[in-house]
Amino acid sequence: MTGHTPNTQQPIGRRGLLAAVGAMGLSASAPPALAASRKLPLTAQTTEGPYYLDVAQMRSDITEGLDGVPLEVCFTVCNAAGKPLRNLRVDLWHCDAQGRYSGFGGQGDDRSLSFEGQTFLRGSQRTDRDGAVSFLTLYPGWYAGRTTHIHFKVLSGTRAVLTSQFFLPDALSEFLYTQVSGYKRARLRDTLNSADGIALRAGDTVLGAVREGHRRYVATLAVVVDPAADPVADRPSPPGAMPPSGGLGLFRGSRLERPQALNGSARTKALVPPRTEG
């Protein structure tokens, strides 16, 4: 397939948009400070999904010039006792405003686009002395069968101690997808947080808090890991797409069950089979 550069219609980030959404009561304060005196629940493991790549790029800004609604993602990584974990590598990746991943073919609603060789919306950072790490990115879009989500992985050396996804507020997502030109689609999304099988199994530990920042939204999540963990990642193969050249050993594991879709006349039928693997 021929490479195709993502195309959104106009840069977003105007104060008016943030103010409009803030007026709807969608802002949320950051999670309370972690208490070292009690044992914290570990952040839930989820499927890695079929679109992970180790792009080997240590960078905080992963937008690569794409247009969209600016989003800052802030993690605080600690152990179950609340002790910050420094110098752990955190990988972040997600789809663009139209639900497409870099590095793979078979993208878009009709799966006709290829972004092989591209690395937009992917990157890594190391936690600081406070266990903190942040990324400058764009609010993700959606694709059939999945709610709005962002993938992340926490590694100690070469060992992944956590592979997970976190989920953004449905009300904010719906507003952006219906009001911002770069996110509008020919059909409405078919899955919310309350109907996404992966989100439901993961539970509250992967629900990000979102607030309004300066010319961007800020999503925060406290990530609690066992630094000695060595879980096996679930890596389904991309639907209708081959892994990048030389990456045949990257994917293993079984496919997930298809998440429950929303019913009702307000939702349109999917034009293509849903991509539910992650």
Please report where in the chains the tokens 């439901």 appear, as a residue.
Answer: 200
Closest CA to 208 of 42, 80, 27, 22: 27
Q: How high is the mean pLDDT of the chain?
A: 81
Determine the pLDDT at residue 184.
95
* Tens-place pLDDT, residues 24-34: 445 444 455 54
Residue 244: predicted pLDDT? 42
Cα-atom radius of gyration of the chain, to the nearest Å?
A: 18
**Confidence at residue 18, expressed as pLDDT on a 0 to 100 scale:** 54
pLDDT of residue 27: 43
Q: Are strands 217-224 and 70-78 parallel, antiparallel or unpaired?
A: parallel
CB neighbours (10 Å) of residue 224? 22
Among 76, 103, 101, 100, CA closest to 90: 76
Encoded amino acid at 224, one letter: V
Element (H, E) at 177: helix 170-179
Q: Which residues of the chain have pLDDT under 70?
A: 1-37, 237-277
Nearest-angstrom CA–CA distance, 110 and 148:
19
pLDDT of the residue at 168? 97
Output the CA–CA distances (angstroms, integers) from residue 184 to 37, 98, 263, in the order listed. Answer: 46, 8, 21
Task: Write the CATH number of the domain with boundaries 15-224.
Answer: 2.60.130.10
User: Per residue in 149-167, is it b (16+ CB within 10 Å) or e — as a string?
Assistant: bbbbbbbbeeebbbbbbbb
Q: What is the DSSP letter of 13?
A: -
